[in-house]
Structure formats: C-alpha cells, structure tokens
Amino acid sequence: MISSNWKFHHVGIATNSLETLATRMKDVSAGQVLDFEDPAQGVRGRFLEIGNMNLEILEPLGDDNTLAPWLNDGNRVYQIAFEVDDLDLELEIVRSKRIRIVRDAQQAVAFNGRRVAFLMPVPGLLIELIEGTSSQ
C-alpha cells in the first residue's frame, strides 16, 4: 500500500451483462445501492450491498472496450477500490514510485462527481483511488 490513508471501498467485477450477474447475485445481496452510466469511463454499473461491503458490477457501455482485457481473459475481478483523503497527494506518491497510472484523476458519475484515478502496480491488478468526501 502506498499510504496508510487508503480505506477499502469496494471490489469491481467486469461482466458482459450487468442484469444477468445482478440476478445471479440476488440471493446474497441485500439490494441495489446505485445504478449509473459513465460515458467518460465507457461503463454502465450497479453497486450491490453484500454483507458490510459494496460490489460494483460493470458492463461495457456500447462498443467501448475499457473492460475488454478483463472480459477477454475470463477475469471478472476488474479492480479493487480505495477511498483516499487527498487524491492529488496520493498520485504524487504513486508517480514518485514509478507506478503506472492507467487513468489520471477525472470526475466519476458513480461518486457524484468526486474524482477517481486508476493505477496498475503489476500487470492485471487495477486499483481505483476515489477522492474522499472531505477533499471536496
């Protein structure tokens, strides 16, 4: 972990069909928390509450290929997400350690305009950093 300020937020699962996976998850899910569509990221998503955590189910939006590397490999775990107090500071630390930033900070529909960034410290492991609510 780059900083001790990272707080686990959710696990993201890539799927070709949001509705199919959500239906299969209904017996373990306490319910739907939020549906969203984010053209900037090329995904349609749904958060489900499972136990004391959220599961984010993501499907490609139209012909977007953002999720293709995970879906083509049969790898459904898309990313692990952490909320951080200061996204800009965490990205400076990441850059100083030469960790690959896949997508720099940008606003995300799923988080009411809070910014997110994506890192790939090792091939195939995508980490999403979510700007904390106190950062706004």
Q: Is the four-CA dihedral 62, 49, 11, 91 of positive or negative sign? A: positive
Q: In sequence order, what are the residues at sequence separation of 6 or more whose Cβ sits closer than 8 angstroms to the Cβ of residue 24?
A: none
Question: What does pTM read for this prediction?
Answer: 0.86
Higher-scoring residue by pLDDT: 60, 124: 60
Q: Tell me what pLDDT residue 128 has.
A: 96
- Select the CATH number that applies to the domain covering 7-135 from these four: 3.40.1030.10, 3.10.440.10, 3.10.180.10, 3.90.1300.10: 3.10.180.10
1 pLDDT exceeds 50?
A: no
Q: Where are the domains of the chain?
A: 7-135
Q: What per-residue string of b and e applies to 41-63 under the rule 16 or more CB within 10 Å gives b?
A: bbbbbbbbeeeeebbbbbbbbee
Q: Tell me what pLDDT residue 17 has.
A: 92
pLDDT tens-digit series, residues 86-115: 999 999 999 999 999 999 999 999 999 999
Q: Tell me what pLDDT residue 136 has.
A: 54
Closest CA to 87 of 67, 125, 63, 116: 116
pLDDT tens-digit series, residues 54-94: 899 999 998 889 899 889 987 789 899 999 999 999 999 99
